[in-house]
Amino acid sequence: DTTHGRILYLEDVCVSFDGFRAINKLSLDIAPGELRCIIGPNGAGKTTMMDIITGKTRPDTGSVFFGSTIDLLRYKEAEIAQLGIGRKFQKPTVFEQLTVYENLELALKTDKGVHASIFFQPDSEQSDRLAEVLRTIHLAESVNRLAGTLSHGQKQWLEIGMLLMQDPKLLLLDEPVAGMTDEETARTAELFLSLKGQHSLMVVEHDMSFIKTISEKVTVLHEGSVLAEGTLEQVQSDERVIEVYLGR
């Protein structure tokens, strides 16, 4: 079993849009419980890669495996979410007219397929989970506030909390600290470090000081494939990476 010890595995993935190779023989793997940062200049293929993992975009060739046995190319986008891959886009999308608690509760309901039933009552296991997620996302004190009154950073945490209600194995996050204050960024680092281990995280980010605090391993994408991989220090001192970023 060559995929042992990997939660996610991409091999030789290619995607073209109208003849343009956006993803070019991309191979990458993520270990269980790992927190991986993905960097790369605009147009490197970061978004397309996430779209492939979540089933939004189909590769032309190559393989994409979740764990050692699940061939993701056999599943539809909605099924992939059910398999335990959560994705967060850059902008927060929470229900502004609902409280923090209600937002999290709604994430539970949709998980069970009991869409927004007013008769829904979480069982004790679900209530425990809700309380735990509230603490994890630093919103235990704000449980009854309307989501619309939260700060930008708090909305981002709430949306991460909504994903956590579904207990995903892998979380994909697109520029999670963009627009956050320094304090919110620091608390987000704390949050990610607390998730690591139980969940695998793949984080696309431009904020290098944030990356430095959270990640052991960084992957640099360029022209649809992996240009370099290693610690932030290693990739930042890599000649090819410097060339791509500075255009030398």
The contact set with ligand ADP (CB under 6 A) reads 17, 22, 40, 42-48
Closer CB to ligand ADP, 22 or 106, in the complex? 22
Q: ∠153-156-161 over CA atoms, to 5°? A: 125
* Distance, CA of 164 to CA of 112 (rounded, Å): 14
Task: Report the b/e string of 203-217 with b at 16+ CB within 10 A.
Answer: bbbebeebbeebbeb
Q: Which CB atom, from 19 or from 113, has the smaller least distance to ligand ADP? A: 19
Please, which residue, 51 or 105, has the CB nearer to ligand ADP?
Answer: 51
Shortest gap between Cβ of 17 and ligand ADP (angstroms)?
Answer: 3
d(CA 50, CA 248): 28
CB of 156 to ligand ADP, least distance (A): 19
Close Cβ partners of 28 (under 8 Å, ≥ 6 residues apart): 8, 9, 10, 49, 219, 226
Indicate the SS3 state at residue 37: strand
Minimum distance from CB of 2 to ligand ADP (Å)?
27
Instruction: Give least dist CB 46 to ligand ADP, A.
Output: 3
Nearer to ligand ADP, 42 or 117 (CB): 42
